[in-house]
Amino acid sequence: MSLMRQVTWLVLGVALAALLGALGVSTLSARNLVQSQLQLKNADNAQTLALAMSQQGGDEALIKLLVSAQFDTGAYERLRWLGPDGQVRFERGEGARESRAPAWFQQLVPISAADGVAQVSSGWQAAGAVEVRSHSAYATDALWASCRLMLIWLAGVTVVALMAAWWTLQRIRRPLDAVVAQAEAVMGGVYNQVMEPRMPEFARLTRAMNAMVGRVKASFDAQAGQLLVLRDQVHHDTLTRVGTRKHFLAEFGSALERDEGPMDAGLLLLRLCDLSGLNARLGHAQTDELLCALADALKVYPERVPGCLIGRLNGSDFALWLPAAQVMAETAQAIADALRATLPVFGPQVRVVIGAVELPRARPAAVWLGEADAALARAENRSTGPVEVVAELRSVGAQQGEGQWRQQLQDALAQSRGRLVEFPVHDRTGRVLHLECPLQLQLKPDEDWLLAARWLPLAQRSRLTAGIDLLAVRLALSAIAADGAARCVNLAPASLQDASFLPQLRELVLAAPQAARSLLLDLSEAAATQHFELLVEVGRQLRPLGVRLGLEHAGAGLAQVDQLFQAGLDYVKLDAAVVRGVAGDPARVAFVRGMVIMLRSLSLKVYGEGVTEALDAQALWDCDLDGLTGPWVTESSSSEHL
């Protein structure tokens, strides 16, 4: 029970106790007063009647007449004249009168007054005594009416007091609610300041909370700033501010392994010829300006193409990864034209060669680099001017038309020709936390199952990702119901933009409430940064049902992690480009550890994906990650089962 509810019940209890107590005391006081007045009446009337009877000279007829006259003029239950011997000489009475008050009231507050007794004389001789008893029913009726009136007044006063207490509690509750909202906002990464109330006690509480929130914000901002500086130092070349060789190759390898993206892409290598000679002829300062100019010519592409990567492979070589199909030759020519306009200011001795290739993304990174390096070598061998370009298209994309691919995808969905491939996510002890379950489709019956990289780009263009993701969730829920193991499936960002996707997904989850508690849904970092409102809605509708929501391929976008926490995330998976090669690199270890500390401060679990080496795994465990996945984890799990 909440504090305010307890206080409310306490106020109601106190008011009710006060009402009953006041009513009881008032009733008893009134009863005692009425009873004493009735008793005085009996005594006074007996004395008056005895005096009148004593003046009749012992005439019995006159005495009886006097008693009868007295009885007829008052509310008497009985008048009795007793002789000197104690025998009743004359009596008038009509029995006890019934009271209009309830029986329970008469039993609770009975009124019992003693009879009035006075001596009667005749001259100097005793003539007996007179006894007077009044009706108590009238007194009971008066007391009952008085109690009802008191109850009405006390109830009215109590209602007014309760209204005043309710208004006071609301005044007290407002600053408390403000402090609670402030604390909840801090948990969500929002650092608000609350105005101090007038009440001294709450003013001190609010002042303390504001000071604490200020310190937390300052600490978080400082930590985030340090993390950004460290990331910049680790991932970027100090001169040109593009990615280092190690970082570029890690991100390049991670990009090739992802399912999303076009089937074909391009890689461009740019080389500044005779760097050492240029240093001698131009000087280091001007040569540095030349290198920065080359980097600037490449930097415009990440702003235009999502997922584009730039890196400096060595002193004279730069690389550009362009995740777009059939544009590599045009891009290489545009870069060459821009350099032809820029390089003459550095002198005629400056020569730049460019080698570019476009290949299927399914090719290994070594093949990509080898083909691009061969194109670069051919450009260097035939260089005759300041800029030489060799761009080669070696795509082996699908021979069939896009319409036929789309029809095959639709048929596979209609016939549910899909299966989940399972890869474990382990914690430090080797326990399986959940299973990563990418979807494979069989586009034609009795043919091979295809990885998502083969059909996902076309599914995105055909707007079929919503149906594919629903199929993956349905398969995961069925598998969970069969063995109880937690499973994680990926949702495409394009699915969130389909208005019918979330209602259908919610229906699937509601139909399997037990299995839903072991279901995890991964969304890419791009979904969180580009469709934040949709991500918030997914968390709002699914997390109360037990579904856990996470962010995969997290890397550079972690600068917005405070906003991402507001979306209702449960965990974050660091991209392979972040975790690969961390062993033996203190700067990268510090960067990963800083990210873990920051994410943990926001109550998020942190996993590493794409781990390939045991040394990297150990370094990541030392950084206190919650779990790892990747080829090394899968091989370790397989060897344990053998």
Q: Which segment of 224-233, 302-311, 540-549 scores lowest on mean pLDDT? A: 224-233
576 and 508 within one domain: yes
Predicted structure pTM score? 0.64
Quick check: 559 pLDDT over 60?
Answer: no
Residue 171 falls inside a structural domain: no
408 and 366 within one domain: no
- Please, what is the average pLDDT of the chain? 83
The CATH number covering residue 486 comes to: 3.20.20.450
Model pLDDT for residues 232-280, shown as the tens digit of each residue: 777 788 889 898 888 898 888 888 887 777 778 899 999 998 888 888 8
Query: Where a domain ends, among 159, 184, 219?
Result: 159
Quick check: 231 pLDDT over 90?
Answer: no
143 and 52 within one domain: yes
459 and 334 within one domain: no
Structure tokens belonging to residue 65? 């007449």
**Residue 566 confidence (pLDDT):** 65
429 and 383 within one domain: no
Band (3; pLDDT cuts 50, 70, 90): low
Neighbour count for residue 91 (Cβ, 10 Å): 14
Model pLDDT for residues 28-61, shown as the tens digit of each residue: 888 888 888 888 888 888 888 888 888 877 778 8
**Residue 1 confidence (pLDDT):** 60
426 and 373 within one domain: no
Looking up tokens 């009886």 gives 64
How many helices (H) does the chain have, and how many strands (E)? Answer: 23, 19
**Residue 578 confidence (pLDDT):** 86
Residue type (1 letter), 155: A
Residue 164 falls inside a structural domain: no
Residue 503 falls inside a structural domain: yes
Q: How many domains does the chain have?
A: 3
**Residue 518 confidence (pLDDT):** 94
Residue 334 falls inside a structural domain: yes
Model pLDDT for residues 410-426, shown as the tens digit of each residue: 888 888 889 999 999 99
Model pLDDT for residues 368-409, shown as the tens digit of each residue: 998 889 888 888 887 666 777 877 766 544 445 567 778 888
Query: Where a domain ends, among 372, 393, 414?
Result: 393
Q: Is 161 exposed, middle or buried (0-12, 13-18, 19+ CB in 10 A)?
A: middle
Higher pLDDT, 189 or 174: 174
Q: Where are the alpha helices (DSSP H) in 245-397?
A: 245-257, 275-282, 284-304, 328-342, 365-381
Q: How far apart are CA 401 and CA 70, in angstroms?
A: 125
609 and 470 within one domain: yes
Q: How far apart are CA 410 and CA 414, in angstroms?
A: 6
Residue 509 falls inside a structural domain: yes
Q: How far apart are CA 584 and CA 612, in angstroms?
A: 15
424 and 285 within one domain: no
**Residue 56 confidence (pLDDT):** 77
Residue type (1 letter), 97: R
The CATH number covering residue 151 comes to: 3.30.450
Query: Where a domain ends, among 342, 366, 393?
Result: 393
Structure tokens belonging to residue 566? 């507001």
Mean pLDDT, to the nearest integer, of 546-570?
74
Residue 206 falls inside a structural domain: no
39 and 79 within one domain: yes
Model pLDDT for residues 435-477, shown as the tens digit of each residue: 999 999 988 888 888 888 778 877 877 788 899 999 999 999 9
Model pLDDT for residues 143-175, shown as the tens digit of each residue: 888 888 888 887 888 888 878 878 877 777 777
Residue 170 falls inside a structural domain: no
Range of the domain at 620: 402-641
632 and 485 within one domain: yes
268 and 144 within one domain: no
Quick check: 205 pLDDT over 80?
Answer: no
Do the bridges between strand 487-491 and strand 432-436 make them parallel or antiparallel, or are there none, so unpaired? parallel
Torsion region of 195: left, alpha or beta (phi above 0 gives left; psi -120 to 50 gives alpha): beta
Model pLDDT for residues 285-342, shown as the tens digit of each residue: 999 999 999 999 999 888 788 889 999 999 999 999 998 888 888 899 999 999 988 8
Looking up tokens 């193991």 gives 485
Residue 307 falls inside a structural domain: yes
Exposure b/e, 257-270, CB count within 10 A at least 16 = b: bbbbbbbbbbbbbb
410 and 328 within one domain: no
The CATH number covering residue 311 comes to: 3.30.70.270
Of 366-370, 594-598, 601-605, the range with the highest mean pLDDT is 366-370
Non-local (6+) Cβ contacts of 554 within 8 A are 525, 572, 573, 574, 575, 578
